Structures are given as structure tokens and as C-alpha cells.
Amino acid sequence: MNRNRKLAVVCMAAGILMLLLSCFLKMHQSPAAAAQTLTGYRILIDPGHGGFDGGAIGASGTHESDINLQIAQALQAQLCKQGAEVIMTRSTAEAVGADKNEDMRNRRSMIETSGQQITISIHQNSFPDASVSGPQVIYAPGSVQGKQLADHIQAQMNSSLLPERPRVSTQGDYYIVKSGSAPAVIVECGFLSNSTEEALLCKQNYQQRVAQAIAAGVTQYFAQEQEADH
């Protein structure tokens, strides 16, 4: 083999090695390193209920407050991986006050003073008709940005979780979504009164899917906001 041919073979081998190394690094790159799409954003997550207030009770006795916290913590992890700063109204099983009034006042105070760009309150639904199921996102009446945020999250939950009867976002005259100046939504992740959905909501892998869908909706919302600013 002449010298030029040897050199060509060596260069080709080096190129293949670099390509394989590049593919390996991409496959093992952490989500945070791969896409810090939410760097610079502050997001407040409000896991509903807690402590003395267990919220809705599921068909098999599941407490809403526990599921709310678990999904909220999964969502916190997802958003932090993308570079967001996340504030939680509660990070333990306890309520945010000694009674319901104090609890709600303290949540509202955090929402009004934390300087976040958006607020996401995590809840589970319940209804007398046990056949009713599916996630739904609620925004404050008249809030254009709140509706946009709700629509993005709702679309992602519908496409990712594949509910039997996909819902649309809706407005609701609720204390939390009307608190503070930042767009706020309540994410009702599913119906605990539906035994099938309750079982899903208790599973860690399904909670991760819920959190990923919400995070994807948040990312789309901020991407749309950036496009509108340019």
C-alpha cells in the first residue's frame, strides 16, 4: 500500500471514529445539557391541598393531596432539567397554613410576591358519575395569556396521555387562577372518582408522563411568547 493510500485510510478511519464518538455523546447527553429551553424563567408550582385538607378521595381511598404533591415534584424535576427556576408552595405532605383560610392566604401571598412568569396549580378531579375521566386545564376568565398557557398544556396532555374523551381547556372563577399578575392555570390531571384513572394516577410512570406533558406545554407557551416578542 503506497503512502497516499495509507494516509487516506487513516483519515477515513479517524472520520468514522469521530462520527461514532459524536453519536455516543448525543445518546448519553443529559436532557438538561441537551435543551436548556427554560433558562431565565421562574415558574411557581402549587400542589393543591395538603395536611388536614386531603382534597378529593379516590374510588379506592386515594387522597388527592398526595397525588398532587407527587406530580408537582415530578413536574419540578422536568422544568429544572430545562433550566427553569421553580418555586413550590409546598414540598411536604403538610398544608401551607393551620386552617383552610390561612392556607389559601399563604398560597396567594407566594403567588403575588414570587416574581414568577407563570403559575401552575396541580389538582385531581372528582365527579359523581364514575365514568367521567380525562385531564382538563382551567384558566382565569378573561386572561388571554392564561388561556394560551392552558391550551398548550391541554393539547400536550391530550396527545401524550390519550384520554378516552379528550377535553378542552376551560375558564373557571377560582381563587388561585385569579391570584397575582402572572398567567395562572389549574391542571386537573384526572378523575380520582374513575377507578381506572385513579389507578393510573397512583403509578409513578404515569405521573412522569403527566409531568412531561405539562412541561412540554409550558415550553411551547414560552416559545410562542418569544416569537410574539420578535
pLDDT, residue 2, reads 57
> How many residues are listed for the chain in this entry?
230
pLDDT, residue 211, reads 98
d(CA 51, CA 97): 9
- pLDDT tens-digit readout, 142-154: 999 999 999 999 9
d(CA 199, CA 196): 5
Q: What average pLDDT does the structure give for the chain?
A: 90
Instruction: Decide if pLDDT at 17 tops 80.
Output: no
* C-alpha cell read off for 122: 396541580
Annotate 62-97 with DSSP letters as a single string. -BHHHHHHHHHHHHHHHHHHTT-EEEES-SSSS-SS
DSSP-assigned letter for residue 59: T
pLDDT, residue 73, reads 98
pLDDT, residue 228, reads 84
Instruction: Decide if pLDDT at 19 tops 50.
Output: no
Average pLDDT over residues 197-219: 98
What b/e string do you get for 51-84 counting C-beta neighbours within 10 Å, with b at 16 or more?
bebbbbebbeebbbbbbbbbbbbbbbebbebbeb
- pLDDT tens-digit readout, 158-181: 999 999 999 999 999 999 999 999
Going by CATH, does the domain composed of 42-229 fall within 3.40.720.10?
A: no
pLDDT, residue 226, reads 86
Contacts of 174 (CB under 8 A, 6+ apart): 138, 140, 186
Strands (E), 17-145: 42-47, 85-88, 118-125, 136-139
pLDDT band for position 227 (cuts 50, 70, 90): confident
Any idea where the domains of the chain sit in the sequence? 42-229
Please check whether residue 123 is in contact with residue 68, taking contact to mean a CB–CB distance below 8 angstroms: yes
* C-alpha cell read off for 34: 441537551
